[in-house]
Amino acid sequence: MYSLANHPDIRVVDEPLYAHYLIHQRTEAKHPGKEEILASQPNDGTEVVRSMLTADFEKPIVIFKQMTHHLIELDRAFIGEMHNVLLIRNPRAILASFSKVVDEVTAEDIGLPQQYELFQSLRASGRGVAVLDARKLLEDPRGVLSRLCANLGIQFNESMLSWPAGARVEDGVWAKYWYANVHKSTGFQPFVPKEYSLTPALETIARSCEPLYQEMLAQAF
């Protein structure tokens, strides 16, 4: 998100459907700052989508950072009016990170099954989808971002490779719970392999999600 927001022609909107998701959430996961999030943005997903499609965002390109599990109880026709980019990550890494903030995690909470379903749907529709893998991005940020920009018809800009440390105006109110590490960053950190120790329940989720991740990874830049 910070990389794209640093491009002079791009405006980024951070998870505009988060409040909508919290109203319609089907799992038991307790999201920190729920009441604050609900108060910070509209929770009618239909109205949010209408705003996404019609509002003036003051720059020629607008990026909506979404979580696929937020796309519930919605008419998804709007997705066909946008270019779609899926950012994927090893499910073990996602679960290790997510479970530090949210208890009782399910596969649906991290959105990977929904992401895979969206991946399949977009490919079947012929609209296409760009796939970025978090590891590949860290290993070669300039190369991956250049290929993404070429795919989207955007001019790559060197400003996408670094940003000032600290919070940004684009941050949602949930940033204090989730963005501590990125607030310390000033660019893409070199990829460092890690071993993740998961509970048996989380390990089961990771194994169920691994084939979905691998199929999407095969299409990543």
What domains, with CATH codes, occur in the chain? 2-217 (3.40.50)
Query: Tens digits of per-residue pLDDT, 142-157?
Result: 999 999 999 999 999 9
Q: Which of 174, 135, 146 is nearest to 37 (CA)?
A: 174
> Residue 52: what pLDDT?
98
**What's the CA gap between 20 and 40, in Å, rounded?**
11
> Residue 134: what pLDDT?
97
> Residue 127: what pLDDT?
79
8-state DSSP, 188: P
Query: Tens digits of per-residue pLDDT, 205-216?
Result: 999 999 999 999
**What's the CA gap between 107 and 96, in Å, rounded?**
12
Confidence (pTM): 0.95
Q: Give pLDDT < 70 ranges for the chain.
A: none
If you search the block for the tokens 């946008």, which residue do you land on? 82
> Residue 128: what pLDDT?
82
